[in-house]
Amino acid sequence: KMDFLRSAFGQPESIEKVKMLAGRVFTELKGVTEAMSQNLTRALTDGLVQGKNPLAIARDVVKQVDDIGINRARTIARTELIRSHAEGQLDAMGRLGVGKLNVMVEWITSRSKTGLSARGNLSPCELCAPLAGVVLTLDEAKGLLPRHPSCVCSFSPANLGEDRERQTRD
């Protein structure tokens, strides 16, 4: 677990995350032209490399991309950062030899209106809730996150075959 945490969070953004984000094309989004897509990619990539949060990146997007309002820019920034971080997590787990992973939902209180879970957190959205606890191979998980705009789900090692006592000590 500690190796994964050091690998995932103890380093500057991985080259793989930056390349993945830099390779994204946004012309499939309604009303986004080729020039807008290029500016959007540049703002997102620069923000990721500089360690900016999604709101700061959204402000940069509004300045650099014509006809993108702050709400749409926030949604795009959050969604694309989740995508790059999710793929980065998968790459890090692969380097550490993790063969399977558990899809765990990260709850965010400002988005859900479905009520409290047993842990006291707000429940995940209806689209993602059925995936909580699903075990996938790394290959199966590639490209699944984000599942929808502003999705906040993430992947976590599945701990298959470990004994319970060791899990709680680590």
Percent over 90 (pLDDT), the chain: 27
CB-based contact 127:112 (threshold 8 Å): no
Average pLDDT, the chain: 76
Over range 41-47, report the average pLDDT.
94
Q: What share of the chain in percent tops pLDDT 70?
A: 70
Check: CB of residue 106 under 8 Å from CB of residue 154.
yes
Q: Is the pLDDT of residue 33 over 50?
A: yes
Highest mean pLDDT among 11-25, 31-45, 119-133: 31-45
DSSP readout, 71-90?
Answer: HHHHHHHHHHHHHHHHHHHH
State yes or no: pLDDT of 134 exceeds 70. yes
Rounded CA-CA distance 18/48 in Å is 7
CB 109 within 8 A of CB 121: yes
Tell which wins on pLDDT, 129 or 84. 84
**Res. 164: pLDDT tops 50:** no
Write down the pLDDT at residue 122: 52
Per-residue pLDDT band at 44 (split at 50, 70, 90):
very high
Query: Picking from 38-52, 62-76, 115-129, which range would have the lowest pLDDT averaged per residue?
Result: 115-129
Tell me, yes or no, if the pTM score tops 0.85.
Answer: no
**What amino acid occupies position 4?**
F
Bigger pLDDT: 104 vs 65: 65
Q: What is the mean pLDDT of residues 115-127?
A: 56
Environment class of 64 (CB within 10 Å of its CB; exposed 0-12, middle 13-18, buried 19+): middle
The average pLDDT across 22-28 equals 86
132 burial via Cβ count (<10 Å: 0-12, 13-18, 19+): middle
